[in-house]
Amino acid sequence: MDFSTSRQIVEKGSSRPRIAVASIIQETNTFSLQPSSYADFETQGVWFGEEIITRSAGLNLEISGSMTRLAELEFIAVPVMRAWAMSGGVLEEKSFRRLRNELMDGLKSAGMIDGVILNLHGALVSDEEFHCDARLVEDVREFVGTDMPIVVTHDLHANVGTRIVAAATAVIGYKTYPHIDQGDTGARAAELISVALARKGTMKTVLQKVNILIPAEIQPILDYPMNVVRELADSHLDQEILDISLFPVQPWLDVPELGFGFLITTVGSREKAQGIGKSLAQKLWEIKDKFLLKLVTLDEAIRIIHSAPQTKPFVLVQSADATPGGATGDDAAVLAALLLANPPISSAMTLVDAAGVAECKAAGVGAKVDMNIGSSLDGRWSKPVRLTGTVTRVSSDPIVLTGPVMNGQEVSMGDWVTVDSGHGVQVLITQRPAPTFDPSAYVQAGLNITDLAAVQVRSCALFRSGFAGLFTDALILDLAGATTPNLASLDFQNIPRPMFPIDKDVSLLDVIYN
């Protein structure tokens, strides 16, 4: 991109352009039974104004990337608010209203501004609003008027729809999955703001949707088959086509306009961008069968672990109960299988169970416990399991992520304990979900995972970067749940039909929004 024109504006103008930057990020899973509220944001920290600069310094966040790049481009970044929560069920409307009000109050007190960058997830749903992110951008658009550039960044799992594209000047997304480019994405938004200011009124984003849902397990961008589409998109970038973002969408979202999205941001003709969208949709449709997954039953997984010679643990991928995807993390199916394994399998796993944590905490380190745990939040998919063992640690310390995804970010697990079953299984039981896309939760809980035969993760694909080099193979388990890879098992009511791969006789719906 060429920034010389925008620099000229800065030099000619009496003052440097001021760009408001705000971030409200949560991914909703509409199949989760656990509603989300403002408290989920407060747990991870809601920051306002100047506080954002000190708190986000050095972190790989969109908002820090945006602010750093804005400063490099000689703009003044005006931090407004930053609210982030772990993925969860539908957000209570009153909590969403509070976030909306805080964003607008912050913008109103930001003084004169020349542009707005909004770092949003793109899959936030409230009790009363299917497209909360669009609503936030509409609020901001109404306040700043039609001419001011608003650039939006999204997670790659955003469900991008008509309203947000209409309200924003440009919408872009992460280019990585597992996501490691939050900061870079924020920086790209800053660059687009500078171009939008320099080339007044010419920037637009065209949206092409495709009626395809892809299990998260097979979405990693650099791997086949996603790399085919990503490379084709990259081949279209030029002086006019400034950004092409792919949104394979997180599939546990029962909302209108659900589907794979391509966003093409251009300062050239709309028709050319639409043509590129169509060709990308066509390519994706041609190779859609390559996105069908091979799943392993729990029995098969146990057999594989027993029979394989190994120097590193297998990863038992309990993606059907993936907390980064908004599931509750309390499904006990894997625990049950590991406790029954004969011969025993040396293993580590996590489970959300607040009552279990309290019981272990009351018993204390070194005490024997005998309790039923699991399925305490969502009883639809598994039964509680009897766990006997010894409490080995009790704590409430947060985890600091050490892998490439959100490196340095502190994550609260609430109170937590570790229990050694005496049968090879070590269980990290937490009040709030433990992040298992990164080994730090296990490591910081004192569990040495490198010598084990198996490590369970409640993650679809993010773990592949956090655990890179640490495991023999990843076994994707064929289990039911709010984040199941078996998408046909979910009861969708609101999405466009037909939808690949859950409907038979699918044809490509010809849908462009712009």
Whichever of 259 and 389 has its CB closer to Zn ion, that residue is 259
Smallest gap from Cβ 243 to Zn ion, in A, equals 18
Token duo for residue 43: 């747990």
Token duo for residue 401: 């992520």
CA distance 373 to 364: 17
Smallest gap from Cβ 312 to Zn ion, in A, equals 26
Residue nearest to Zn ion as judged by C-beta position: 157
Smallest gap from Cβ 367 to Zn ion, in A, equals 39
CA 110 to chain centre: 29
Stretch that binds Zn ion, among 101-109, 149-157, 411-419, 429-437 (CB under 5 A): 149-157
Dihedral (CA of 44, 396, 377, 490) sign: positive
Q: Does 415 bind Zn ion (CB under 5 A)?
A: no
Stretch that binds Zn ion, among 86-94, 150-158, 340-348, 443-451 (CB under 5 A): 150-158
Smallest gap from Cβ 325 to Zn ion, in A, equals 8
Whichever of 17 and 329 has its CB closer to Zn ion, that residue is 329
Binding characters for Zn ion, 156-185, by CB under 5 A (x = yes): -x----------------------------
CA distance 161 to 174: 17
Stretch that binds Zn ion, among 152-160, 196-204, 426-434, 476-484 (CB under 5 A): 152-160
Smallest gap from Cβ 179 to Zn ion, in A, equals 6
Residue of 438, 445, 435 whose CA lies nearest to 87: 435
418 bridge partner residues:
393, 428
182, containing H or E segment:
helix 182-198
Smallest gap from Cβ 132 to Zn ion, in A, equals 16
Token duo for residue 417: 């304990």
User: Which residue blocks in 85-154 are alpha helix, DSSP H?
Assistant: 93-108, 132-144
Q: Does 155 bind Zn ion (CB under 5 A)?
A: yes
* Binding residues for Zn ion restricted to 23-82, rule: CB under 5 A: none
Token duo for residue 102: 């805080």
- Three-state DSSP at 165 gives helix
Stretch that binds Zn ion, among 74-82, 105-113, 148-156, 435-443 (CB under 5 A): 148-156
Smallest gap from Cβ 229 to Zn ion, in A, equals 17
Count other Cβ atoms within 10 Å, centred on residue 231: 10
Smallest gap from Cβ 245 to Zn ion, in A, equals 13
Residue of 254, 485, 483, 495 whose CA lies nearest to 380: 483
Smallest gap from Cβ 157 to Zn ion, in A, equals 4
Stretch that binds Zn ion, among 60-68, 147-155, 452-460, 479-487 (CB under 5 A): 147-155
233: left (phi over 0), alpha (psi -120 to 50) or beta: alpha
Whichever of 206 and 462 has its CB closer to Zn ion, that residue is 462
Sequential DSSP letters for 189-208: HHHHHHHHHHTTT--EEEEE
Whichever of 177 and 500 has its CB closer to Zn ion, that residue is 177
Whichever of 157 and 188 has its CB closer to Zn ion, that residue is 157
Whichever of 157 and 288 has its CB closer to Zn ion, that residue is 157
- Radius of gyration of the chain from Cα atoms? 23
Whichever of 155 and 415 has its CB closer to Zn ion, that residue is 155
Token duo for residue 404: 């490439």
Whichever of 40 and 155 has its CB closer to Zn ion, that residue is 155
How many residues form the binding site for Zn ion (CB under 5 A)? 2
317: left (phi over 0), alpha (psi -120 to 50) or beta: beta
Smallest gap from Cβ 242 to Zn ion, in A, equals 23
- What is the length of the chain? 514
CA 76 to chain centre: 29
**Amino acid at residue number 406:** M
User: Which residue has tokens 């279209």?
Assistant: 236
Smallest gap from Cβ 253 to Zn ion, in A, equals 12
Whichever of 179 and 423 has its CB closer to Zn ion, that residue is 179
Whichever of 100 and 157 has its CB closer to Zn ion, that residue is 157
Beta-carbon contacts of residue 144 (< 8 Å; ≥ 6 apart) = 107, 113, 116, 150
Smallest gap from Cβ 155 to Zn ion, in A, equals 4
Whichever of 157 and 175 has its CB closer to Zn ion, that residue is 157
CA distance 348 to 428: 8
Whichever of 157 and 432 has its CB closer to Zn ion, that residue is 157
Residue of 168, 172, 96 whose CA lies nearest to 130: 96
Residues that bind Zn ion (CB under 5 A): 155, 157
